[in-house]
Amino acid sequence: MATITASSTCGMMMKMNHQHPLSSSSSSRLTQFNSFSHCTSLYKSSNNPKLSFIRCQSTNTEDKTKRTLLDNASNLLTNLLSGGSLGSMPIAEGAVSDLFDRPLFFSLYDWFIEHGSVYKLAFGPKAFVVVSDPLVARHILRENAFSYDKGVLADILEPIMGKGLIPADISTWKQRRRVIAPGFHALYLETMVKVFTNCSERTMLKLENLLEERRLTGQETVELDLEAEFSNLALDIIGLGVFNYDFGSVTKESPVIQAVYGTLFEAEHRSTFYIPYWKVPLARWVVPRQRKFHNDLKVINDCLDGLIKNAKETREETDVEKLQQRDYVNLKDASLLRFLVDMRGADVDDRQLRDDLMTMLIAGHETTAAVLTWAIFLLAQHPAKMKKAQAEIDSVLSQEEITFESVKKLEYLRLIVVEVLRLYPQPPLLIRRSLTSDQLPGGYNGDKNGYNLPAGTDVFISVYNLHRSPYFWDKPDEFEPERFLVQKQSEVEGWAGFDPSRSPGALYPNEIISDFAFLPFGGGPRKCVGDQFALMESTVALAMLLQKFDVELRGSPDSVELVTGATMHTKNGLWCKVKKRSNVH
């Protein structure tokens, strides 16, 4: 099997990876936990040989001289263990010594350009197949979806999410998805718009109060870390939407909030750590961060158990159709937990319910906070687009409250949200493991005969590569929300092109419209169950912020350091200057 060499060509990405000058003053909650746990360099740590931090060595001549014995042994081991079984698939070799420079997916991009849409990444004793092509992604996610499970991701998340939808094995997933998906029905989503508005209002009030304090000292702007604010906002929304619990994190601290952030931090850490040391016997008692993690988990579990008990004690069992037609406007508790507990025939033990709630808490929090963060990061660099969005907000909302209908009218803002997800997909990689052998299509410029994939192969679908593919997007690295308004004919055999008429009335350009070239919420049966929820939540929060305030970055964009685990976020927060819009009523 031929080994193809790789070189590092992704300069465009590197420029984001500068040290933030304001690092010591960050109030980002994840950063705080970072230091609490004495893991100050999680994302760059040299003792952190984990997935998202696997750095891939360029194997050009110059770099080969830098390879250590360990690297060579590592690649030899990979080739011994999996060599030959992937047929004609190109190979990129990873190197242990090159683990610690920049997030994995930047290297995966370089190798995509070098080796093509499907290649094997040989790294230590493991080999991963990296997919960056819509046709191959469509095959794995939709056409042959049940031949894959979540593999490495499930191993990592199971201790936190148990048998929740994200890590669940296929048979548990089938049962739970059938019950959970109907919970996101139209009336629920309409009611949630009110929750999004109320929670966002608290954030806006906080900003107004801070600005008022500033005005007393003669200043017009306030400087703050908007990533931390978005994180609080997203936590409050997900708590109310999923289990009718008001964390109130925009305005206060509490042991439960601390525990949630601790657990989120650990989930993030585990998703970036290759060796599951937490499975080592006694680790949970001996390793301090594991002790803290189990304490945090207990605090949240006690809280969730209390909410589940309460919901069960007040259960009003009824059919799904009736549940979906309840009087949501006047319902005190419109949460998903209420829906799941009241659903006839969906009896389930408390453990499964807890796993479902925990999964949605984690899945729905960091992702949305990240979208809002990168939206402001990009808009602040494109003032004309920010003004265009503000003009739309002014004309659609005027003095009225935001409703489901107005979110539909905020088309430009919704396109901004999805364009942000194109450039900063959350998560940047979808992880799968083949349960049986499979025949992958070759993809663009790949082997016409496709590639044989043995059972048990770990696969990364690089959404990041798909979304920035020069073969499927014009000016792929530019922030251009308007791009989604243009139909695109396909010049690639087997790809249907970009055509909004394939999904009439869709709230966003989805995987059907783009024929799997754009996967903001995944695709196929395991697609995000909260896509509409998340899209509307992000639109409402941005609308309310931009309606009242103008935002600028405090430093240069290059000073915002991007780090990644399960989601892409900043290392030290998104420090911004916020001021009241002058022409606002």
Question: Could you tell me the smallest distance in angstroms from the CB atom of residue 362 to ligand HEM?
Answer: 9
Q: Is 272 in the site for ligand HEM (CB under 6 A)?
A: no
Which C-beta is closer to ligand HEM: that of 116 or that of 427?
A: 427
Please tell me the number of Cα atoms within 13 Å of 556 on its side-chain side: 8
Sheet (strand 148-149) strand order: 91-93, 118-123, 126-131, 458-462, 429-434, 148-149
Q: Is 534 in the site for ligand HEM (CB under 6 A)?
A: yes
Q: Is 152 in the site for ligand HEM (CB under 6 A)?
A: no
Residues whose CB falls within 8 Å of the CB of residue 398, separated by 6 or more in sequence, listed in order: none
**Rounded Cα–Cα distance for residues 467 and 132 (Å):** 9
Please list every residue from 355 through 414 that binds ligand HEM, using CB under 6 A: 359-360, 363-364, 367-368, 371
Neighbours of 103 (CB within 10 A): 24
Give 355-374 as a DSSP string. HHHHHHHHHHHHHHHHHHHH
Tokens of 142: 């939709």
Angle (CA) 263-269-271 rounded to 5° is 105
Binding residues for heme: 528
**Rounded Cα–Cα distance for residues 545 and 287 (Å):** 42
Which C-beta is closer to ligand HEM: that of 456 or that of 525?
A: 525
Question: Could you tell me the smallest distance in angstroms from the CB atom of residue 502 to ligand HEM?
Answer: 20
Which C-beta is closer to ligand HEM: that of 208 or that of 411?
A: 411
- Residues recorded for the chain: 585
Is the separation of the CB atoms in 236 and 229 below 8 Å?
Answer: no
Q: In Å, how far are 14, 28, 428, 438, 468 from 132, measured between CA atoms?
A: 20, 32, 11, 17, 10
Q: Is 530 in the site for ligand HEM (CB under 6 A)?
A: yes
Q: Is 207 in the site for ligand HEM (CB under 6 A)?
A: no
- Strands (DSSP E) found in 106-236: 118-123, 126-131, 148-149, 221-225
Only one of the segments 6-14, 285-293, 502-510, 531-539 lies at the binding site for ligand HEM (rule: CB under 6 A); that segment is 531-539
Only one of the segments 293-301, 496-504, 526-534, 550-558 lies at the binding site for ligand HEM (rule: CB under 6 A); that segment is 526-534
CA-based diameter of the chain, in Å?
71
Which C-beta is closer to ligand HEM: that of 148 or that of 274?
A: 148
Is the separation of the CB atoms in 328 and 187 below 8 Å?
Answer: yes
Q: Is 521 in the site for ligand HEM (CB under 6 A)?
A: yes
Chain position carrying tokens 């949305």? 368
Q: Is 428 in the site for ligand HEM (CB under 6 A)?
A: no
Amino acid in the structure at residue 367 = T
Which C-beta is closer to ligand HEM: that of 99 or that of 376?
A: 376
Q: Is 508 in the site for ligand HEM (CB under 6 A)?
A: no
**Size of residue set near ligand HEM by CB under 6 A:** 25
Q: Is 528 in the site for ligand HEM (CB under 6 A)?
A: yes
Only one of the segments 39-47, 244-252, 322-330, 515-523 lies at the binding site for ligand HEM (rule: CB under 6 A); that segment is 515-523
Q: Is 185 in the site for ligand HEM (CB under 6 A)?
A: no
Rg, the chain, Cα only: 23
Is the separation of the CB atoms in 573 and 28 below 8 Å?
Answer: yes
Which C-beta is closer to ligand HEM: that of 92 or that of 140?
A: 140
Q: Quick one: which of 267, 529, 541, 551 contacts ligand HEM (CB under 6 A)?
A: 529
Which C-beta is closer to ligand HEM: that of 26 or that of 367?
A: 367
Distance of CA 505 to the CA centre of its chain: 25
Which C-beta is closer to ligand HEM: that of 19 or that of 198?
A: 198
Is the separation of the CB atoms in 372 and 541 below 8 Å?
Answer: yes
Question: Could you tell me the smallest distance in angstroms from the CB atom of residue 374 to ligand HEM?
Answer: 10
Tokens of 259: 């525990």
Q: Is 526 in the site for ligand HEM (CB under 6 A)?
A: yes
Q: Is 132 in the site for ligand HEM (CB under 6 A)?
A: no
Is the separation of the CB atoms in 55 and 98 below 8 Å?
Answer: yes
Q: Is 134 in the site for ligand HEM (CB under 6 A)?
A: no
Is the separation of the CB atoms in 553 and 380 below 8 Å?
Answer: yes
Q: Quick one: which of 533, 539, 576, 578 contacts ligand HEM (CB under 6 A)?
A: 533
Which C-beta is closer to ligand HEM: that of 77 or that of 170?
A: 170
Which C-beta is closer to ligand HEM: that of 124 or that of 241?
A: 241
The two beta strands, 148-149 and 429-434, are: antiparallel
3 state SS of 245? coil
Binding mask 227-266 for ligand HEM (x = CB under 6 A): ---------------x------------------------
Q: Is 418 in the site for ligand HEM (CB under 6 A)?
A: no
Q: Quick one: which of 10, 86, 165, 378 contacts ligand HEM (CB under 6 A)?
A: 165
Angle (CA) 435-440-446 rounded to 5° is 150
**Rounded Cα–Cα distance for residues 306 and 243 (Å):** 11
Q: Quick one: which of 49, 151, 450, 522 contacts ligand HEM (CB under 6 A)?
A: 522
Which C-beta is closer to ligand HEM: that of 103 or that of 524?
A: 524
What residue ranges bind ligand HEM (CB under 6 A)? 165-166, 177, 242, 359-360, 363-364, 367-368, 371, 421, 426, 430, 520-522, 526-530, 533-534, 538
